[in-house]
Amino acid sequence: MAFEPEPLSAERLKLRFSGDRSVSIFPCALGAKPGTITFFVPSYGRWACDGMAATSREAATEWLNDGGRMYRFDQSKLSVEEHRIECHTLDSFAMSPSLIKVHAQGAELEILRGSEHTLRRHKPALMCAFASDEISEFVSDIGYRPYVFQNGHFMSGLAPRSVTFTWYLTDDNSRRVQIEAGSPGKAVLS
């Protein structure tokens, strides 16, 4: 199952996986509570920056507005479309996942809050983009610990921004990972 709130990206995913019955694409946002949200999608000139879409105008444009990122950046070429998007909690889908990957331009914590029942009941491994202390605190109350996966190994702690994803594993998840002898906090997939 994939959840994609950005309309153009959702259509691309549906087209790409149209012949694969094992993949379901839901064109909606996930969050802490159901409702409707405003989603901001930036464009720069003729370039649709749909991968930078976010729930705030500032978050959707911060990368583009960073003066050091784009040579000869021209503010007048930047535009932002607003979309009203249906929002659900992950819990409302009554699924039993073994892995949840969350990459949501800063909305990760809200998505996890709307997934709390699923996390407590099924204890899936979590792969979370740009994790924070707040996210770590929230999932630690459910029994998760942060790990970074680098060079084929899991190590305790939050991933640096250069790695993007922090893995959160429960004790049950960790039992599926072989801890290397002599290297506390270091593990390899078995």
Window from 64-78, 115-129, 150-164 with minimum mean pLDDT: 64-78
112-147 tens-digit pLDDT: 999 999 999 999 999 999 899 999 999 999 999 999
Contact of 117 with 91, CB cutoff 8 Å = yes
Percentage, residues of the chain above pLDDT 90: 56
Confidence grade of residue 190 (pLDDT, cut at 50, 70, 90): very low
- E strands, the chain, in order: 2-3, 25-26, 29-30, 35-44, 47-48, 78-88, 99-102, 125-129, 145-150, 153-156, 165-169, 177-179, 186-189
pTM, whole model, 2 decimals? Answer: 0.83
Per-residue pLDDT at 180? 43
DSSP state of 16: H
Mean model confidence pLDDT for the chain:
88
Window from 35-44, 49-58, 121-130, 180-189 with minimum mean pLDDT: 180-189
Tell me the H-state helices in the chain.
7-16, 57-65, 108-113, 116-122, 133-140, 171-175
Q: Who wins on pLDDT, 77 or 70?
A: 77
Distances (CA, A) of 151 to 49, 186, 187: 31, 11, 11
pLDDT mean over 69-87: 88
